[in-house]
Amino acid sequence: MKRLITAAIAASALFLTGCAGDDPQPTVTTTSGAPAAAYPVTVGTVTLPKRPEKIVSLSPTATEMLFAIGAGPQVTAVDDQSTYPAEAPKTDLSGFKPNAEAIAAKDPDLVVISGDSDGIVAQLGKLSIPVFVSPAAATLDDTYTEITELGTLTGHQAEATALNEKTATEIDTIVKSVPARGKPLSYYYELGPDLYSATSKTFIGSIFQRFGMTNVADAADPDGKLGGYPQLSQESLVESNPDTIFLADTKCCQQSADTVKARPGWSSITAVAKGQIYALDDDIASRWGPRTVELVKAVADAVGKVPA
């Protein structure tokens, strides 16, 4: 698998940089001794004439990716939800309701965002500010692609490739460390106490699939019309009787094993009766960046505690 991922990363990097101008570029060496990226570079619809030095990130996941590939010193402002890493220059900018005037005031030479909320790409385009949309990943391969793309744009291709290889290797190692089970475990993944969940067709679902687990939320959105994030009814959840429950609402909504056990009618659920309820870090669980390794580890630890 590692070889396949590495090959895909390399091919993607070659394709992305191949879109740049045909004029020969001088070879520049970074402080690490690796060749620096030659500009201009093009990724998708974004072309940068030179390395960006004033990046504004309006996506918490993109912020984590940028810092993880060594582009942190180039990031001058991040949105109000970018809580990691601690040194990220957090501001009151919003990625959910982006304000073109406030963003432009940061004088960015690149803006990274996860979606084109309120037509912000066109708004900033009128101000000649390049915007790169790095959407929510549906699979780990999407994550590797986005890291590669950010590496290309910021001049950190080698670091992006190394991060992808390291991440893939660590995830594979963790998954393989969990013994195979004769019968797949079922799980309920909670996004909030209002019983919104994520199906197997989401990024979160793809992580649990690595462990061969069965998602009880799949039946609530079989055709994907709800985007993979259905709201379950208490009746259907109790009837599905999941073996395990994973809480991704421990920070936002102060949910815990105790609050779940106290819910009326839930005592008959296997996960509740056997104490197989596992709290996750909301931030890590809601992002698709480098810290996905920590999410995989948390799931592996939980699965390992369930008797075969």
pLDDT tens across 216-230, in order?
A: 999 999 999 999 999
36: confidence class by pLDDT, cuts 50, 70, 90: low
For 129-161, write each residue's pLDDT tens digit.
999 999 999 999 999 999 999 999 999 999 999
The mean predicted confidence, pLDDT, of the chain is: 90
CA angle 12, 61, 170 (to 5 degrees): 65
Average pLDDT over residues 115-122: 96
Percent of the chain predicted with pLDDT > 90: 87
- Distances in Å between the alpha carbon of 151 and those of 41, 70, 202, 209? 11, 9, 24, 28
What does the block give as tokens for 136? 């929510």
Q: What is the pLDDT of residue 308?
A: 86
Q: Strand pairing partners for 41?
A: 48
C-alpha span between 226 and 52 (Å, rounded): 37
For 15-26, write each residue's pLDDT tens digit.
333 333 333 333
Domains 2-171 and 181-305 share a fold: yes
Q: What is the pLDDT of residue 35?
A: 56
The residue among 105, 151, 104 whose CA lies nearest residue 130 is 104
C-alpha span between 167 and 144 (Å, rounded): 9
Q: What is the pLDDT of residue 21?
A: 34
C-alpha span between 124 and 119 (Å, rounded): 9
- Regarding the domain delimited by 2-171, which CATH topology (the fold level of the hierarchy) does it fall under? Rossmann fold (3.40.50)
Task: Spell out the domain ranges in the chain.
Answer: 2-171, 181-305
Which H or E element spans position 77? strand 75-78
Q: Strand pairing partners for 133?
A: 113
- State yes or no: pLDDT of 5 exceeds 90: no
Compare 264 and 36 and report the one with higher pLDDT: 264
Give the HSE-up count for residue 260: Cα atoms under 13 Å, Cβ half-sphere: 30
For 189-212, write each residue's pLDDT tens digit.
999 999 999 999 999 999 999 999
The one-letter code for the residue type at 59 is S
Give me the architecture of the 181-305 domain, per CATH.
Answer: 3-Layer(aba) Sandwich (3.40)
Average pLDDT over residues 22-43: 58
Could you give phi then psi for residue 160, rounded to 5 degrees? Answer: -65, -45
Does residue 191 sit in helix, strand or coil? Answer: coil
C-alpha span between 284 and 157 (Å, rounded): 24
